[in-house]
Structures are given as C-alpha cells and as structure tokens.
Structure 1
Amino acid sequence: MLASSLALLLLAAWPTGTRAQSHFTNCVSNTGSDATLIVPLAAAPSLNGVPLETDDEIAVFTPDGLCAGFLRWTEIDAAFTIWGDDSLTPEKDGFVAGEALAFRLWDASESREVPNDRITVSYDDQRTFYRTEGTFAPGAIYALRRFEARQAPDVPTLTAPANGAADVGRDLSLHWNPAAYATAYDVEVSVRPDFSSLVAQQREVTATSYRANGLAYGTRYYWRVRATAGEGGTSAWSTAWSFTVEDEPLTPPDAPLPAEPVAGAKDLDTQVTIAWNAVPDVLYYTLQLTTDPAFQTLAYEQDGLRSTSVDVPDLAFGTTYYWRVNATGHGGTGPWSTVRSFSTRPAPPAAPSLLLPTHAATDQPRTPTLTWQATAGADTYTVQVATDAAFGALVEEATERTETSFTTRALDYATTYFWRVRASGATGTGAWSATRSFTVRTAPQPPAAPALLAPEDGAASLSLPVTLNWAATEHATSYTLHLARSADFAPLELVQTDLSAPGLSLDQLDPGTTYYWRVRAHGEGGNGSWSTTRSFSTRPAPPSAR
C-alpha cells in the first residue's frame, strides 16, 4: 500500500515524458496493474557515452515483445508507468509478475532503435521501497541508477578513388561516407587483398578521408575502412577497394612558354583567355593568377588542365594581374613558366536606377515615358521593352540614347510590359538595371453620338453664314461633319474632318436650299456613332431687278 501511494505521488510530481512520442506508439496503458520506473537526471542515460538528447525515447518491453511503458526524454528528472497484465481480459496485455524488464532506446537523431541486448541498466538500492531487481512486481517502484546504451557503428562505404582506378598519383586522398554512430575510423592500405602485409595503417581518424603519400609507382594497392564508436564498439571492415598507381616517369616536363595575352596587355575584358604552348609528356597543367607579383595570395588557381588554354571569368575591372603555368607529367611537376602580366579595362557605367513608371504601376497611358537617373560615365543608354520578364519578346529596343527618358510607341491596351535600361560609355557597356513592369490602362469606349444644338431641326430662311453647333462629347478628340442636300447623304455636299471644336460656320451655301447635316465624334476608343440628322434651309435669293 505504501509503494502504491508513493508511485502515485511520484507520477504526480515528476514529468512522465510520454507526450508527443514519435516512435513507441503501440504501448499498452491503463491495464489496472502497474509499477513505476523513475529515470532521474542523475542516472545520466547515455548512448555510446554521450548523454541522451531531447526526444530520444526509453521503453520497457515484456519478454514476448509487448511495449508496456515508455518515456520521451527531455533532459530532466522523469518517471513513467510500467503496465502489468489485466487479469480480467483473456489476452495478455502487460507484464506478468516475475517477468524480466527488457529495455529499448529510440535514437531520434538517427531514427534508429537500440535493442535490449545493447543496453545496460542498474537500479537504485538506497531506499527501502525501491525495487532493485529487474523483474516486474505490481505496485513496485524502480529508480534507475545507470542507463547505458551501446550501438555499434555502421560499416563505412568507400567513395574515392573509384574501385579499380588506374594511373592514380603517388600521393592521393582516400574518401568514404560518414557512418552512423562513428566517432573515428581505422584505415588500412596493403599490397595484398587479404591485408596480411600493411603498407599504411592509421587508427582513430576523425575525418572521412585519409591522405596516402609516397606510394610506389606501378603498384596495385588495396584499402579498407572500419568505424569505431567508443563504448559502442567497432564495425566490420568495409568492402576492400583497389587502385593502381601510375608508372614511374622519366623526367618532369619543361616549363611551358606563355602565349596569350601578350606581355603587358591592357584594357582586357573581365573574362580573359590565357594560353600557352604545349610541352611533351604532360599529364596536366596548373595555372596560377594573382594581383601579387610574388604570388603569395592567389586570385585564381586551376590544376588538372588538359588543354593549353583556359577562360578565366569574373576578373575585377581596372586591375593588373600576373600569371604563370607549369606542367605535370609522369616524371613529376616541372618549373613555372616566366611570369606575364595584363590589365583589365576600367569599370563600365553602373546599372541605371529606374524612376518612372514605378514598379508594377497600373493604368498607364499607351505611350508612357520611361525615365531613369543619369549614370556616371555614361554616354548613351539602351532601353528594352518586352511582354515577358526574360525579354524574349521585345516590342521596343532603343539604342544609343543620350537622354534619360524614352517615350514608347502606342502600346496595346490592358497589357503588362517589362522594361530595363543599361548604360554605355568609354569604358564599355554596363549591366542591365533591375527590371520593372507596368500595365497599360484598359481601352476606353468610343465617344457617344454628339447632341446637335443649333440650328433647330427644320429651321428655315437662315442667313449666311450658318453656324452649326453641337454639344461637346466626353472622350472626344475630334469631330467629323457631313452636309448633304438629301437625307440619305448621297451625294455629300461637304465632309469636314478633324474638327477640334464643337461647331462650324458655313458661308458658301446656295440660297433657298435645304441641307441635311450630322456629326460624329472620334476618340482614343475609336469612332463614335453618328448624331441624329437635322435639316435647315437658307434664305431664298432676292428677286432680280427689272
């Protein structure tokens, strides 16, 4: 009775650590028969001598593999319930009294379960109510004194040089993939496939590579690696791989003769092709480029070059560079060539800063004016306008512009356009500006039919000049007037186009004649409808004198 009460107090006072578990999800619970396992921080639960991390999990299993309780470790004192068998149910759903407690560990960082045979535990025997035996007893309280898990590391996988590689150098690096749980590696190199005779042996290598130097020419070597994990033990040896060292050369190659650029070349681009004359018996060339004539610090170095030229990109503007090259063959590496220098051209103008329209501007006119800030050192500008951000579909390209603005041709309504600018000057052409976009406004509607004002329809005996007036129409930019002697306007007596004002005076009309007239408006949205038709007649001619 005392043990049960203490267990309840412990579980209430100590975190159980069983929430948000990620692995031991099928454990039994609430069987009615239970014990309590305390995992104090002082027990220092560990895996291969390293303290457990948050979210690792400790579980207790019955001998027949039933999970009867678990704990998600949070690096604080904790306790959890170990469930016993419910005698009221026919199936076995927990521990039976006297069964041994079997532990398992879930290593969250490696997503791997450590079995019971790799775990050592001991129990606290300092309190009389603690159970010190690792067998189940209903109502018992266990407190761990020690929890040590030992997981052997995985077998390493070799990566380079490739198995069976030939013509490798005498000095090379052996590489392998990291093995889970490994803290170090043992490496062996031999001329025999059974490794009965070793030419190199290195223990406790902490990197995943090993440098083998001074190997014999024309010799096949075998190598293998195994992982160690301290208290976790040692893995099996990896599969053995082999490589063959190149044959012994006679003499190193001569120094190459520099070819391009010519010595002291100036105003070169920032991508330079460096070339030299070939020398015989070469495996590869090494090129060094620096801004320091003593070659103490390098701006560029490339070895393993099979050709006699290389394109060096991304050089700095307005900088003097020094370069040299040597050759490596079967006989070793030859001397450096003579040093040459060249200078790159001054920096071109910077990318312009765009001003208007603002980025993603909407409701823009069909002929917007694009503006940008002047760039120091710029003589001219190039402007591109396209319907795609990659500028594959150009609709405008203006080059050699001296102004810092550009007005486009009439663009399509309701269309998004992209634009950019770059500057050119005496030092070259600079980079494109940032790309901006704008959207042309929606096409306006054609203007409405004008309302005719004067003269009134059917007005008679009008004196010359006759002034025709109509109401101005919204969105109208001009008007067209038709005047005829018939209501069907065939034939036309007068056609007056491009009228900017809503009126026109006529003084060349025949007397005593009926005329018909109509007007329509024109605007950016197109041609409007004709107005209604009106008529008027002019004053008859006076009688002739007798």
Structure 2
Amino acid sequence: MMYCAGDGYQIETLGTRPLYRNGMETSLDYSGWIYNEFANTVFLYFNYNIPSIANDFFSSQDYFSVFVNNSDGSLDEVFRTEDATDGWVTKKIDISQYVNNGSFRIIFYFKSGSFDREEGVYLDDVKLSAIVSRNPPLIDDPGEGGVSLTPTLQWSGVTGANAYDVQISQSSTFSSTVVDEKGVQDTYYTVPAGRLSNYTTYYWRVRGVAQNTNLIGDTFTLFTDWSTGIFKTVVAPPSLIAPSNGATNQSLTPLLDWSSVSGADTYTVQVSTSSSFSTTVVNRSGLT
C-alpha cells in the first residue's frame, strides 16, 4: 500500500548555486511549503558540494547545516557537516515529523570562520519525495451477477484525497478499459449508458488522489493503491418472436415464442391485461 512519487517531486532546480560568500553567515530559506496529510512519509533530497582549498581546508569553524521548523516555530537541525567533499554528494533526510503540520520551512545554512575563503557550499536539485501509506478506498462491491448496465459504484472516502480515479475493464490486469474516469469528486460513480454490455464480467477499481500546489506554483500529485472489485451485468432480455407485437385475432391458446439469450438457464413468462402487469393471467417461471 505504498506509492513513491517517482524520483521525488522537484520543488526547485537551483543549478550550481553558491550558498556562501566570504566571511559571512549565509542561508537559503524555503518557507511556506504546503503538504497534504495524504503523504505519511516525506524525504528531502539535495545535492551539495563543499570544495576544499589549498592551505584552507574545511575547519571546525566552518559548517553546513539544514534546519526544519517544528510546530512551535522552533528550528531543528536535521543535518550538519564540517567536512569538505570530493565533488557532489546527494543527501536524503526523512522530514516526515515536520511536514505533517501541513506547512513547513527548510533552511540551508553555511557559516565560515575564514575570511579568505573563495568558495563555500553549492546546492543543486532540491527535491521532496513522498511515500503514501494511506489505505486505499474501501469499495462497496455491486455483486457478481445481475448488475444493471448503468450501475452506481461506491467506495469509502480517504482522508486527504481531493478526488478519485475510477477504471472498469474486462481484464483483471486492466490492460484496456471501458471506463477511465479521473478526478471524480464524489465517493460514487454512475457508469454512463453505452459503456457496458449484457452478461459480461467486469473488473473495477478506484484509488484516492491528492493534489496540491506549492507557493512556487508547481503542482504535485500523490495516489493511494487501487482497490479492485468485480461484477457481472444482467443478461439481455429475449426478443419476442410470436405472436408479433400488437397482433390481433389470436386463439385462446396461442403459442408464445421468444429468442434464447446467452447466460439464461430458464425463463419466466407473464401475460396480463394491464400494460403495467399489476395483475397477471399467466405467470410461469422455470421454463426452458
């Protein structure tokens, strides 16, 4: 029941951006990132490069830190290094405990005690990656047989989901679909007429979708796993052969004939003097 948003949702590509200038405390502050509670686990990824300079190696006075805010507004140091690097290093930090508040702030910070340093820390490819471990929607299966050609499929809501995706297929692998509806706003979906056939087994599935926009204006989307169900539609009604519709002057013991239908084992015949069949003069079932 986990979905990982690819290689990570890329909040911003910084390029080779220096974080340090000579003799200064320098920080890069990301504020106001909004994250849906749909994401249970969130990782911060970034690449950093701290070149060492001849006769001026990284000292104990020099350090690079990453801070994330707590719910009370205080900052926690989630990463710190006092070592130079031999090129670019990729760092991954679990910041789940901080983002569950819905809005969070990340600060990249560098301080040096050296005033003659010509280089500092460089950052690139700051990303967020989320893992969703929300349970998928619980489906209310319409049953395996006797389902109409326009059934209403229902499921439970998922906390944090903005919408739902619904698919229907004749294949259990969903290699092709007869319905592929995205962004359903309700916890039910009525299949439009003309999509389903009589006496056919269908597989259907639904998943929760969470979509948000950060302050930079980019959009990211997260999904739950699919919940899958199965149902079979009703058999087609038989065609009446004899007597023809509206026929007159029929005998008092007419022969009633109809076409056979795929999936039907027996037939029920009714005869009535009322078009609503509120009462019947013949009501026979189990006919073969």
Scaled by the length of structure 1, the TM-score of the pair is 0.26
Scaled by the length of structure 2, the TM-score of the pair is 0.44
